[in-house]
Amino acid sequence: MTSTQSPQSVVERAPAKVILIGEHAVVYGHPAIALPFPPLSARGTAVPAAAGVAIRSDRYSGLVARLQEGYEIPKPLKPAAEAVRGSLEAIERAGGVPRSFDLYLESDIPPGSGLGSSAAVAVAAVRATFRFHDREAPPALLRMLATRAEAIAHGTSSGLDPTTVSAHGPIRYVRDHAPVDLNVVKPFGLVVADSGTTAPTGQMVMRVKSRLDEDPQAVARLAELGALAERAVQHLEHAEYPELGRVMDEAHLILGSLGVSTDRLDAIVTAARSAGAFGAKLSGAGGGGCAVALVPIERLRPVAEAMMAAGAPMAWPTQYLIESDKP
Ligand code: MEV
**How far apart are alpha carbons 301 and 304 in whole angstroms?**
5
What is the phi/psi pair of residue 192, to 5°? -100, 130
Task: Answer for the pair 122, 83: CB distance below 8 angstroms, yes or no.
Answer: yes
The C-alpha angle with vertex 138 and arms to 39 and 142, in degrees rounded to 5, equals: 55
The C-alpha angle with vertex 194 and arms to 190 and 110, in degrees rounded to 5, equals: 105
Mutate to test the pocket of ligand 1, among 157, 172, 225, 255 (most ligand atoms within 8 A of CB): 157
Per-residue pLDDT at 40: 96
Q: Which helix (H) or strand (E) holds 149?
A: helix 139-154
Between the alpha carbon of residue 89 and those of residues 96, 129, 142, 153, 293, the distances in Å are: 9, 11, 13, 20, 41
Atom number, ligand 1, closest to the C-alpha of residue 23: 5
Kindly indicate the confidence band of residue 156, based on its pLDDT and cuts at 50, 70 and 90: confident
Give Cβ neighbours of residue 282 (< 8 Å, ≥ 6 apart). Answer: 23, 114, 252, 255, 260, 261, 265, 269, 289, 290, 291, 292
> 170-222: per-residue pLDDT in tens?
999 999 999 999 999 999 999 999 999 999 999 999 999 999 999 989 999 99
Whether 154 has a pLDDT exceeding 60, the answer reads yes
Q: What is the pTM of this model?
A: 0.93
Whether a cis peptide bond, with omega within 30° of 0, leads into 145 is no
> 93-124: per-residue pLDDT in tens?
999 999 999 999 999 999 989 999 999 999 99
Kindly indicate the confidence band of residue 5, based on its pLDDT and cuts at 50, 70 and 90: low
Question: How many other C-beta atoms are found inside a 10 Å radius of the C-beta of residue 136?
Answer: 11
Computed over its alpha carbons, how large is the radius of gyration of the chain?
A: 20
Q: Which of 58, 102, 161, 325 is catalytic?
A: 161
Pocket of ligand 1 from Cβ distances under 6 Å: 19, 23-24, 26-27, 114, 157-158, 160-161, 201, 205, 284-285
Per-residue b or e along 251-276, where b marks 16 or more CB atoms closer than 10 Å to that residue's CB: bbebbbebebbbebbbbbbbbbbebb
Task: Answer for the pair 286, 255: CB distance below 8 angstroms, yes or no.
Answer: yes
Give Cβ neighbours of residue 34 (< 8 Å, ≥ 6 apart). Answer: 17, 18, 19, 20, 22, 160, 163, 164, 170, 171, 173
98: left (phi over 0), alpha (psi -120 to 50) or beta: beta
Whether 316 has a pLDDT exceeding 60, the answer reads yes
161 catalytic per annotation = yes
Mutate to test the pocket of ligand 1, among 161, 164, 172 (most ligand atoms within 8 A of CB): 161
pLDDT, mean over the chain: 94
Q: Report the pLDDT averaged over residues 295-317.
A: 98
Task: Answer for the pair 136, 126: CB distance below 8 angstroms, yes or no.
Answer: no
Question: How many other C-beta atoms are found inside a 10 Å radius of the C-beta of residue 165?
Answer: 33
